[in-house]
Structure 1
Amino acid sequence: MSRLGKAPIPLPKGVEVKVSKEAIEVKGPKGTLKHEFPLGISVKVEEDQVHVLFDEKAGLEKPHYGLHRSLINNAVVGVSAGFEKQLSLIGVGYRAAVKGNVLDLQLGFSHPSQVAIPADLQVTVEKNTLIKVTGPNKQVVGQFAANVRALRPPEPYKGKGVRYVDEYVRKKAGKSAKGS
């Protein structure tokens, strides 16, 4: 059985948890998240800890135990501390700006690329080339950052494009000159 699933989830101060039969609602300073779990998994709240319990007789596969424990842990961390992804624009003339609820990107195309910002995310742009995406839901933050990166992924010859701040892009050698 999952060893991670057995570990209790600590509740930080200011985080409230409500449990129903098939869902858990986590409320904190950064927002509210709801997670539904399947039959065979139950959640119990004791003092400042959340315990995820697994019923082997329900017919649920064992890997789901650790998965749902991690998803509930991500909800607790998200409403208390939040998640952040940083993207960097590398290239001449590449820049970004937030206009209302739209991220406006100039990525070397003949037209600007515009990406709608989901309601529960905060997107800020620093120095026109550094984009910070923050929010309580880890999946939404990561998916939005991946969608922005997919508009112009870093190319391997000069490294131009949109990349994560901590991402390493391995560069290839260009064509070598023909010797005569």
Structure 2
Amino acid sequence: MIKNAKFVISNTDYKKCPPPNMPEFAFIGRSNVGKSSLINMLTNNKNLAKTSGKPGKTQLINHFEINGNWYMVDLPGYGFAKVSKSIKSTWEKMISDYLTNRENLVAVCVLIDSRLDPQQIDLEFITWCGQQEIPFVIIFTKSDKQGKSKTQGTVKKFLDECIKIFGDAPDYFVTSAQNAEGKEDVISFIDNEVNEYYDSLK
């Protein structure tokens, strides 16, 4: 359970992130995938992450301290945000530097819109994570926007693509920021990983 969530710092350089003394979980996805809404739902704080109908709202690495023992990190989205190519390349370098150098990063939560067939940009991102040996899980968003069978169908299509790439399917969760579907499952996963992280230090 998330009892306490507080904003710590925003920056553009992983070297200026908080000391890597707690396990960290990064949230990323295509622009407008519902990332801020999901973060706010998970933390019971509708104002923690800034939500916007305008893609590209998150432009920095945002750290939130959760329960005083782990970090939730809100990363800029990738994809069709209406920004210049120079800004986009700066974001990409900022994100890749963070993901490949942050030693306390336990998992990247890659958000996927459950209403859509597999998108090339999402498949390219998880392929890159695999190549860099960055552990990730998939969080399907916006499940409340359509019927359950439609969601199951698009989820299966995406997992089938993952199997083609990796040989098996990653861990995944189906969520809705509107009705809190999947909330307990995601938090339970993180809690287990946090416990394992601290156990490994003993």
TM-score by length of 1: 0.25
Q: Report the structure, 1 or 2, having the larger strand content.
A: 1
Q: Report the structure, 1 or 2, having the larger helix content.
A: 2
User: Which structure ranks higher in relative contact order (CA pairs < 8 Å, sequence separation ≥ 6)?
Assistant: 2
Please identify the structure whose Cα radius of gyration is greater.
1
TM-score by length of 2: 0.23
